Amino acid sequence: MDNRKIAVFDSGVGGLTTLAYLKEMLPNEDYVYFGDFKNNPYGTKTTSELQSILKNNIELLEKKDVKIIVIACNTAGTQIDYLKTLTNVPLCEPITVTTNYINQMNDVDNILLLATNYTVRVGLYQKYLNKFNVIGQPAQELVRLAEEKKFDQKVIDEIMKEYENKVDLVILGCTHFGYFTKEIDETVKPKIIVESSYELAKYVVQYLTENDLLSGVGNANVEFVE
């Protein structure tokens, strides 16, 4: 048993989707949430800019004496190998767990990856899902809409209408996109939508359980840090 808190960080409000899933799955834990609004968005940064930002984030959360750092942001998750050199605190990210889940599927051929400019460009989803036809579609504008708590069907149509009835599965490869799941489903009409935030939360439960790190005293309280 480990009563330390679970840390979750994201480039902004997107990681609140991951946090919500975690609170539902692990109601006896307490949490620290860091939304990096100062440096949002991550998806337009260079690698050096991104790594500098993430180094500061890890150092900030380490000071909270947390038992795990959940990197909710897919763009940040592309730098997992670098981040692991910075800390001994266990880290987890959404790309590996999401692709592991999809790789178990047998009835999928064409996949639409909706993600930030950076995540699409780096190509880790495409690399790890190389037995499928993965179409990487930048959807950076949806990050802005989520942060501003706005909805614009025209923007969604411009980004993904061309894929209507043409893909079997859509990956929501950015935490922010969970706010638009219904609209994405109705626009693209895939068989399956896989939300990286949800797959990451499931993995955290599994990891903490297997490593005897669950707490029995928390009440899903959240400390928001700046």
pLDDT tens per residue across span 33-53: 999 999 999 999 999 999 999
Domains and CATH numbers, the chain: 6-93+198-225 (3.40.50.1860), 96-195 (3.40.50.1860)
pTM of the prediction? 0.93
For residue 216, the model assigns a pLDDT of: 84
73 included as an active-site residue: yes
What is the CA angle 7-12-16, rounded to 5? Answer: 55
DSSP state of 116: -
For residue 149, the model assigns a pLDDT of: 85
pLDDT digits (tens, 9 = 90+) for 71-126: 999 999 999 999 999 999 999 999 999 999 999 999 999 999 999 999 999 999 99
Using alpha carbons only, how large is the chain's radius of gyration in Å? Answer: 17
Which of 73, 97, 112, 184 is catalytic? The answer is 73
Which of 115, 174, 194, 200 is catalytic? The answer is 174
- Exposure on the CB side of residue 160, measured as CA atoms within 13 A: 35
